[in-house]
Amino acid sequence: MKKKSGNISKWLIPLAAGLAFVLIWQLAGGAGLVSPYILPPPLRVAASLAEDVPLLVQHAAVTFVTSVAGLAAAVALALLMCLAMDLWPAFKKAVYPYMVISQTIPIIFIYPVIMMGLGFGLAPKIAVVTLVCFFPIGVNLSDGLAQTDPELLLLFRSMKASRWKTILLLKLPGALPAFFSGLKIAAAYSVIGAVISEWLGAQAGLGVYMIRASKSFVLSRVFAGILVVVALSLGLFAVVLAAERVFLSWKFITNHKENKS
């Protein structure tokens, strides 16, 4: 019983808060407190959203593909880099600082360079998403691998475990929780990364849709685009959460037991 009411309030409270916020926003617009050219009222945004469904679906599909491809590339890249860094400490020393630097690059300014290398298609956009997503995944995974319990490493050594088996049976599974922390952050950022790259020059995608809407001063459509970006980001985040539940099921099972006792 207690558990159920806890679940309801877990959903109900944020939902009610959100609705209240939207209501106040709508009323403030209706009362003339906020100009619709600065902040279009929610009903107007909803109308634009409904009008543009086919167009939004088209653009969202492009953004979605870019985001997922970039995220997948970032995961593959992070996995390769982190394994290499774990196997060769000298490689880690050489590369780790640049991993951090990669995150400090203002994408807006190097995007033309990326485009010169990768052309005008989806490739440079995917590269931007990869650049954005690689850092949280790579740093978390690499730290997770580095934090393997030294006593467990000693135990594996006492059983003469090969390097590869030690990685496969000890280091990687141990680093999985850290990897998922990084992946959650990356999933939340990936769509924004895709939108920014589209903003910088593309033929399709939510970034293109929004820049067109804003250039023609139809703010309610810009907001409709924002809503779709939020929904896409949340959707990707939810997929990662679900994957985490599958891969770290042992954690959720044992946590459950602790909660009960």
Partner 1 sequence: MKRIRVENVSHSFPETEVFRDLSFSVDSREFVSILGQSGCGKSTLLHVISGVIAPDSGRVFLDEEDITSRPGLVSYMPQNDLLLPWKTVLRNIGLPLSLKGRKAREAAAAVEPYLALFGLEGFEHRYPAQLSGGMRQRAALLRTYLHRTDIMLLDEPFGALDAITRERLQEWLTRLLETLRTTVLLVTHDIDEAILLSDRIIVLSPRPARIAEILPVDLPRPRNGEQKLSPEFLKLKKRALHALE
- Residues lying near partner 1 in the complex (CB under 8 A) are found at 149, 151-152, 154-162, 165, 169-170, 173-174, 176, 248, 250-251, 253-254, 257-258
Nearer residue to partner 1 within complex by CB, 32 or 258: 258
Q: Output 10 or 165, the one with its CB closest to partner 1.
A: 165
Q: How far apart are CA 22 and CA 182, in angstroms?
A: 32
Nearer to partner 1, 116 or 154 (CB): 154
- Closest CB 185 distance from partner 1, rounded Å: 22
Distance separating the N- and C-terminal Cα atoms of the chain: 16
As given in the structure block, the two tokens for residue 209 are 């849709």
Give the nearer residue to partner 1 in terms of CB position, either 204 or 243: 243
Least separation in angstroms between residue 150's CB and partner 1 is 11
Answer whether 238's CB lies under 8 Å from 189's CB.
no
| Nearest distance, CB of residue 251 and partner 1, angstroms | 8
CB atoms < 10 A from the CB of 129, how many? 29
Distance CA 115, CA 119 (A): 5
Output the smallest distance, CB 162 to partner 1, in A. 8
CA distance 87 to 109: 34
Task: Give backbone dihedrals phi and psi of 128, rounded to 5 degrees, phi first.
Answer: -65, -45
Return the number of the residue (17 or 155) whose C-beta is nearest partner 1.
Answer: 155
Min dist CB 167 to partner 1, Å, is 12
Which residue, 91 or 250, is less far from partner 1 as judged by CB?
250
The minimum distance between CB 249 and partner 1, in angstroms, equals 9
Residue 176 C-beta: closest distance to partner 1, Å? 8
CA distances, 187 to each of 175, 180, 230, 240 (Å): 18, 10, 12, 7
Contacts of 64 (CB under 8 A, 6+ apart): 191, 232
In the block, which residue shows the tokens 């052309």?
119
Closer residue to partner 1 in complex, CB, 73/248: 248
Chain centre to alpha carbon of residue 249 = 22
The tokens describing 1, both together, are 């019983």
